[in-house]
Amino acid sequence: MCVTRRTVLQELVESTDAERRETTTVEALASALAADERTLEEHVDALVTCELAHVEADGRIRATITGEELLALDTDEVIIVDPAGRDGRSNA
Amino acid sequence: MAGRTRDRIGFMSCQCECVSYGLGTLMVDTENDAASEESDEVQYDPDTSRYDIFECADCDNVVLALGRDEPPMSCHNQPMERIRSIDMSVKTPDVKQVLLEAFGLPKAGLDICLCVIGEGPLSANEVAETLGYDRSTVTRYLNKLVELGLLRRSELNREGGGVVNVYHSVDLERMRRETLIGFYVWAGEAAALIEEANVTKQEYLDENPDQDLPEVFWDSFPDD
């Protein structure tokens, strides 16, 4: 089964909680989405780069507050995530 | 067969959802040579076209209608007639050129849009690496796309402080309307230029009735 990065984020947001620091594993995500773990790892790595997912010290993963807010935008197609500094300027 | 078509196209109002626009006065010399037509030219075929062109039987008003099945447009409180044939052909528009010309959308901006369609969410760094642009270039053009109304920017909270900018597509229906109307505004401006050129051309013909019109008419006139 081919999963998209957005699908992975959706599953991650549904199965974890940023505020309560509830986490899951790549294996659990892969199982839930019927996808292979390597593909899931690639998507999770990308989501971490976008600051939409976070990897805890023990290797477990969760969605970030940013990731949850992004899905709450309910936009058809989120396209680019550009982390900015505290002053709101992009980190170019 | 050589022919000259003089169409006057005006702004029209309509009570349905169709959109029409005016093209001013258009005079076209059709020293036609069908055999020499380029393969990338498109001929208007009212039976298969995705749009309709109507003309008034009583005046030289011509309108373009898009997104409707049922005529007629009206002029002088009378139904306008669908144009069935025209003498001239036009080059098939290229969507990239349309976006570039009509909206001033920079090539980099278009590249960014095309790069990420269906692939999101992507980081700005990923887009930059994929396209071979600097990260700062990607950010600059993302903001340009926002200015043009083709993207929306939302600021999301970032864990640990600060914000994360998210660039996402605008409402598709709104975008469809905005881009279509925006293009029509551009087309209206282009039509006004054509009308201006044609008026000048007519003046030239009036003043030089015994001379042929220069092949590239406007090249004969220095800028004011």
CB within 8 Å: B123 and A70: no
Q: Residue B210: CB partners within 8 Å, gap ≥ 6?
A: none
Q: Does A69 touch chain B (CB under 8 A)?
A: yes
Q: Give the integer Cα–Cα distance in Å for A84 and B154.
A: 12
Q: Does A51 touch chain B (CB under 8 A)?
A: yes
What does the H/E/C string look like for B136-179? HHHHHHHHHHHHCCCEEEEEEECCCCCEEEEEEECCHHHHHHHH
Q: What is the pLDDT of residue B213?
A: 67
Centre a 10 Å sphere on the Cβ of residue A67 and count the other Cβ atoms it contains. 28
Q: What is the pLDDT of residue A32?
A: 95
Give the CATH number of domain B96-170: 1.10.10.10
Q: Does A30 touch chain B (CB under 8 A)?
A: no
Q: What is the pLDDT of residue B35?
A: 45
Q: Does B155 touch chain A (CB under 8 A)?
A: yes
Q: Give the integer Cα–Cα distance in Å for B100 and B110.
A: 8
Q: Give the integer Cα–Cα distance in Å for B70 and B66.
A: 11
Q: Does B160 touch chain A (CB under 8 A)?
A: no
0.80 surpassed by pTM? no
CA separation, residue A8 to residues A18, A58, A76, B40, B219 (Å): 15, 20, 16, 43, 59
Q: How far is CA B182 from the centre of its chain?
A: 8
The complex's ipTM? 0.85
Spans of chain B below 70 pLDDT = 1-39, 67-72, 116-119, 172, 213-224
CB A46 within 8 A of CB A57: no
CB B128 within 8 A of CB A53: no
Q: Where in chain B do CATH 1.10.10.10 domains reside?
A: 96-170
- Compute the nearest-CA separation of B133 from chain A (Å): 12
CB within 8 Å: B122 and A46: yes
Rg of chain A on CA atoms, in Å: 13
- Reported as half-sphere exposure (CB side, CA atoms, 13 A), residue B135 has a value of 12
- Exposed, middle or buried by CB within 10 Å (0-12, 13-18, 19+), for B8? middle
Total length of chain B: 224
Q: Give the integer Cα–Cα distance in Å for B44 and B50.
A: 10
Q: What is the pLDDT of residue B151?
A: 83
The 10s digit of each residue's pLDDT in B33-44 is 444 445 577 777
Residues of A in contact with B129 (CB under 8 A): none
Residues of B in contact with A64 (CB under 8 A): 159
Q: What is the pLDDT of residue B43?
A: 72
Residues of A in contact with B118 (CB under 8 A): 77
Q: Does B101 touch chain A (CB under 8 A)?
A: no
Q: Give the integer Cα–Cα distance in Å for A54 and B131.
A: 27
Among B152, B153, B155, B166, the residue to mutate for chain A (most A Cβ within 10 A)? B166
**Which two tokens mark B4?**
């000259």
CB within 8 Å: A81 and B124: yes
Going along chain A from its start, the domains and CATH numbers come out as 5-72 (1.10.10.10)
Among A79, A89, A91, the residue to mutate for chain B (most B Cβ within 10 A)? A79
Number of Cβ pairs < 8 A linking chain A and chain B:
122
Spans of chain A below 50 pLDDT = 85-88, 90-92
B89-124: burial string, b at 16+ Cβ within 10 Å, e else:
eeeeeeeeeebeebbebbebbbbbbebbeebbbbbb
**Which two tokens mark B65?**
């209608």
